[in-house]
């Protein structure tokens, strides 16, 4: 079952179409990374999923039920933080949570539970406006967890954090998923920040999905896009020999670049170069990292 499923989701602001036939599939129990550059349509999608924007075209199902007609019941099972944390700066972490506890109608013990969970149990009477950005993000997540949701939706939760803050948020979300079985959807514009966190990935660009699947399927694109780089004594002659021998080759960056082939075939072509008098100094396989794969998908050159 999908925790979130959209079909043909389309949305316009005045004359600008910001979402185009979006079919989003977030499996139950997954940590789903919703990725794309700023302005790609991530926040608009999340607002639609939460019912914060009126649905114009397409359909949305949350936890197996259509959002239309079931919004209030569905929202009781969702915790969310969209854009900047909504906190009262003059109140402590506990006092902030008490405000939200009364709104949610939760038991009092939930405040201690979530403070411990997010690592803010010892902040005492320290005001929220004295918190670091990482602490504010964790308090915002504590608010989202107060009513014990089964689905957590976070928009750019690591935005502006230092490396330690990113690690804190990543560790918290991993524990929520592994220990409590919570489905997590987290948006970001930087793949490298969350690739160690997610199990599934959806990449949106100009309002349309450029990729959707497991992280392993995205990693598989590294193999598909890898090339063989050969350093030789005569690159022009090497390209000529490789082309005649059935290899597609070009000169780039002072090396001969050839499509990825089985090692036996690479060995045969290198032997042919040596046989024809071209000295081969080095043969390496060059793989794109995931960040470059992401940039390729959204049409940006690294």
Roughly how many angstroms between the first and final C-alpha of the chain, as a whole number? 37
Same domain, 254 and 163: no
CA dihedral 13, 78, 216, 189 (to 10 degrees): 40
- Answer yes or no: is 302 within a domain: no
- Name beta bridge partners: 259: 227
Q: Which domain holds residue 243?
A: 227-286
CATH number of 232's domain: 3.30.70
Same domain, 176 and 60: yes
Helix (H) or strand (E) holding 142: helix 133-145
- Answer yes or no: is 177 within a domain: yes
Q: What 8-state DSSP symbol labels residue 106? A: -
Per-residue pLDDT tens over the stretch 32-43:
999 988 888 999
Among 39, 49, 54, CA closest to 79: 49
C-alpha to C-alpha distance for 118 and 172, rounded to whole angstroms: 7
| pTM for this predicted structure | 0.80
Among 204, 181, 165, CA closest to 294: 204
- Averaged pLDDT, groups of 10, the chain, 302 residues long: 93 90 95 90 92 92 90 90 80 92 90 89 90 86 91 87 83 90 91 86 91 88 77 92 82 86 86 92 80 74 52
Same domain, 133 and 256: no
Among 2, 294, 3, 1, CA closest to 153: 3
Same domain, 151 and 184: yes
CATH number of 24's domain: 3.40.50.300
Per-residue pLDDT tens over the stretch 97-146:
999 999 888 899 999 999 998 888 899 899 988 988 888 888 988 999 99
* DSSP structure string for 154-185: EESTTTT--HHHHHHHHHHHHHHHHHH--EEE
Among 86, 88, 65, CA closest to 75: 65
C-alpha to C-alpha distance for 18 and 107, rounded to whole angstroms: 40
Same domain, 73 and 45: yes
- Answer yes or no: is 252 within a domain: yes
The structural domain count of the chain equals 2
Longest dimension (CA), the chain: 81
User: Phi first, then psi: what are they for 4, rounded to 5°?
Assistant: -135, 130
């Amino acid at each position: 079952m999908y925790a979130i499923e959209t079909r043909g989701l389309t949305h316009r602001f005045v004359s600008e179409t910001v979402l185009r036939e979006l079919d989003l599939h977030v499996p139950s129990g997954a940590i789903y990374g919703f990725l794309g550059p700023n302005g790609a349509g991530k926040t608009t999608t999340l607002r639609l999923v939460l019912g914060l924007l009126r649905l114009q075209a397409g359909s949305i199902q949350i936890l197996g039920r259509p959002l239309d007609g079931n919004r209030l019941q569905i929202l009781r099972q969702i915790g969310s933080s969209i854009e900047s944390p909504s906190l009262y700066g003059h109140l402590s972490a506990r006092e902030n949570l008490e405000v939200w506890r009364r709104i949610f109608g939760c038991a009092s013990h939930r405040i201690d539970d979530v403070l411990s969970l997010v690592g803010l149990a010892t902040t005492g009477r320290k005001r929220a406006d004295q918190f670091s950005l990482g602490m504010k993000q964790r308090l915002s997540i504590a608010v989202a967890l107060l009513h014990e949701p089964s689905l957590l939706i976070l928009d750019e939760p690591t935005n502006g954090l230092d490396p330690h803050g990113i690690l804190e948020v990543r560790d918290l979300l991993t524990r929520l998923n592994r220990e409590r079985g919570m489905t997590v959807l987290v948006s970001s514009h930087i793949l490298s920040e969350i690739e160690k966190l997610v199990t599934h990935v959806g990449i949106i660009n100009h309002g349309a999905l450029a990729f959707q699947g497991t992280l392993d399927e995205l990693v598989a694109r590294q193999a598909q896009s890898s090339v063989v780089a050969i350093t030789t004594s005569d690159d022009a002659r090497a390209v000529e020999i490789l082309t005649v021998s059935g290899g597609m080759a070009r000169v780039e960056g002072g090396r001969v670049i050839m499509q990825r082939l089985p090692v036996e075939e690479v060995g045969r072509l290198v032997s042919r170069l040596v046989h024809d008098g071209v000295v081969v100094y080095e043969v390496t396989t060059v793989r794109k990292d995931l960040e470059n794969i992401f940039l390729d998908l959204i049409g940006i050159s690294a």
